[in-house]
Structures are given as structure tokens and as C-alpha cells.
Amino acid sequence: MNEMKSKFWTRGIVVLITAFFCCTLWGSASPAIKIGYKLFDIEADDTASRILFAGIRFMIAGVMVILTGSFMAKKVLIPRIVSIKYVAVLAMFQTIIQYIFFYMGLAHTSGVRGSIINAAGSFFSIFLAVAVFHFEKLTLRKVIGSILGFAGVLLVITGGNLSFMEGSVSLQGEGALLMACLASAFAGCFIKLFSSKEDPVTLSGWQFLIGGTVMTIVGYCFGGHFGSISSAAVSLIIYMGFISAGAYTLWGILLKYNPVSLVTVLGFINPVMGVILSAIFLGEQSEAANITGIFALVLVCAGIIVVNTSLERKSRGK
């Protein structure tokens, strides 16, 4: 049975389709959040309601991950007592800090820009893995890939000029998105560190649930509310829970049965799908199709490919 699973999940077409599906889910997050603001009637400056919105989403995601993981493992996934501190750290960085800033940023910038800027997390992860956590060594390809990626992020933020000096870039918008990327990068490194001590699915499911619960309580206590609730709004927030739960579970399966480099290099699809879906569902076609945006997206994708290709070559050389 295990051999059959391995053969299935290592088939090239299966890896490609699954990775594309995961990146499509992640790419849909930016437009889904902005659509959610409209459906729930949440104003851009209503911080408490944004936190409440995010909290409920991640509570749903946590329940989905725990139930799915328990079904796959044929046992209830409950973290050990000694692992509670790991769950708490991940809940703080991966859910609470990251998504307070991410939801803030998307309230003050477009889905296209948010999707491209969000890719900066990949390059922050490289810096942290090398300089802070010492998981990896710095290579020329990592340097080149990171420079390309950050150049793309900087290009989409500035529009190719010094407009950010004139106030067109805000700390609440692009600045908050960069902070979310940094929190995500820390979370990724913590997962790598903690997964040797506790099942990563257990860690992820419970940190989603706990982080989402904390955000829900905080948002509600500070006056967070939904201006309107409809069947479409409820369906959307359930789907958003599935974005995190479904993509994480499937991506984890790909990483389990395939070389890390083979899977992560396909992550370049994520910002591409984010831009495409924002153009389709948010009406941001002009921003997605302009030369600056396209060139920025190409730079970001090239950076991701260059960085992960270096890992692939290294693994093949062993």
C-alpha cells in the first residue's frame, strides 16, 4: 500500500497538478480576503473586524487540518504537553502576527500588488535560514535568486520610480505586507525546527485553531463585527478555511514523497495565480497587465526558480 502511494504521489503529472492546485488555492487568498471585506461589510480602517474575520477563518482551518490529519493518521492528533510551547510560538508567528499584518495590508493595497509582495516571504526565509537559524549555507545562486526576487518586489512597490518617497506607498499597505512576509518566514523556520520534535500536521492544525481562537476573541472584545452576513459570505469564509487546510495538507504530501527542491521550485506558480485571480475577481486587469507589474512578477518567479534550482542541483549531486 505504501509503495503504491509513493508511486502515485511521485508521478510527474500528479506532482504538477497537485502543486498547481495548491498554488491556485494560495493565490486565491488575496482576492478572497478583499471580496470578504465587501461581503461582510468591513471597512478598511476597522482593525477589530478584520482580526475577527481572520480569526474565524483560521479556527475553521484548524478544525479541518486536525480532522483530516486524524483521519489520515487513524488517530486523533493531539500535541504532547511538551509540544504546547511549539504550538504557541507557531500560533503567534504563523497565524496571529502574519495575518494581522496581511489582512491590514490587503485592506490598503490591491490584490495584484499583495500577491507579488507576498512572494518576498520566500526570500526572507533564505536570509533567516542562513543568518539566524543556520539551517543552510549561503550560495551564489541563493544570492542571485534573492536579488532577483527582491528586485521584483521593490519594482511592484515603487512602480519603477521613487514614488514611495512621495507617499504612494503606505506602512499600512505595502509595509504591513512585508511584515507579514517576515512573520511567515520566521514561522517556516520554526516549523522546520519543531517538526523534528512533533508531528508537523499536528503542529499546524493546532496552531491554526489556537491562533484563530485568540484572534477571534481579541477582535470581538475590541468591537469587531460583521456589517452583514449572507450565505455567500459564510460560504466564502469556509472556503478560506479550506485554502489553508487543503493547500497545507496536499503540499505536505508532496514534500513527503518527493525531493523538497522538486516541490518548492513549483512555488513560482503562487504569485502568478494570485495576480491572475486578482485580475479576474477584483477587476484589476489594468494593474496585472501593465509592463511594470508583469516585469516584477517575472523577476519574482525567476528568483524563486533560481534559488530552488540550486537546491535541486545540490541534491542531485549527492
Per DSSP, the residues of the chain read: -HHHHHHHHTSHHHHHHHHHHHHHHHHTHHHHHHHHHHHTT--TT-HHHHHHHHHHHHHHHHHHHHHHHHHHHTS-----GGGHHHHHHHIIIIIIIHHHHHHHHHHSS-HHHHHHHHTHHHHHHHHIIIIIS--S---HHHHHHHHHHHHHHHHHHHTTTTGGGGTSS-IIIIIHHHHHHHHHHHHHHHHHHHTTTS-HHHHHHHHHHHHHHHHHHHHHHTT---S---HHHHHHHHHHHHHHHHHHHHHHHHHHHS-HHHHHGGGGHHHHHHHHHHHHHH--HHHHHSHHHHHHHHHHHHHHHHHHHHHHHHHHH-
- pLDDT interval class at 225 (50, 70, 90): very high
The pLDDT of 181-195, averaged and rounded, is 88
Look at 60 and 110; give whichever has higher pLDDT.
60
In a domain, 107, yes or no: yes
Closest CA to 210 of 102, 58, 68: 58
Task: Pick 310 or 197 by higher pLDDT.
Answer: 197
Q: Please check whether residue 12 lies inside any domain of the structure.
A: no
Q: What is the mean pLDDT of residues 225-232?
A: 92
Q: What would the pLDDT profile of 122-144 be if each residue is shown by its tens digit?
A: 888 888 888 888 877 888 888 88
Mean pLDDT of 199-212: 92
Q: What range defines the domain where residue 299 resides?
A: 18-317
Domain tally, the chain: 1
Residue 160 has pLDDT above 80, yes or no: no
- Residue 166 scores a pLDDT above 70: no
- Average pLDDT score over residue span 97-115: 90
List pLDDT tens digits, range 266-283. 778 888 898 999 989 988
Grid cell, residue 153, equals 518586489
The answer to whether residue 164 sits within a structural domain is yes
Instruction: Establish if 81 belongs to a structural domain.
Output: yes
pLDDT bracket for residue 310 (50, 70, 90) = low
With pLDDT > 90 as the criterion, what percentage of the chain qualifies?
Answer: 38
- Average pLDDT over the chain reads 85
Average pLDDT for residues 6-11, to the nearest whole number? 80
How large is the greatest C-alpha to C-alpha distance in the chain, in angstroms? 61
**What pLDDT does 168 receive?**
57
What pLDDT, in 10s, does the model give residues 76-87?
999 999 999 999
Among 11-20, 48-57, 136-145, 202-211, the range scoring the smallest mean pLDDT is 136-145
**pLDDT value at 315 more than 50:** no
Please give the pLDDT value at position 169: 65
Residue 289 lies in a domain: yes
pLDDT for position 91: 96
Read off the pLDDT band of 157 (50, 70, 90): confident
Q: Is 59 among the domain residues?
A: yes
Report whether pLDDT(264) > 50. Answer: yes
Say if 246 falls within a structural domain: yes
Going by pLDDT thresholds of 50, 70 and 90, the confidence category of residue 57 is very high
Q: Is residue 114 part of a domain?
A: yes
Mean pLDDT of the region 95-109: 92
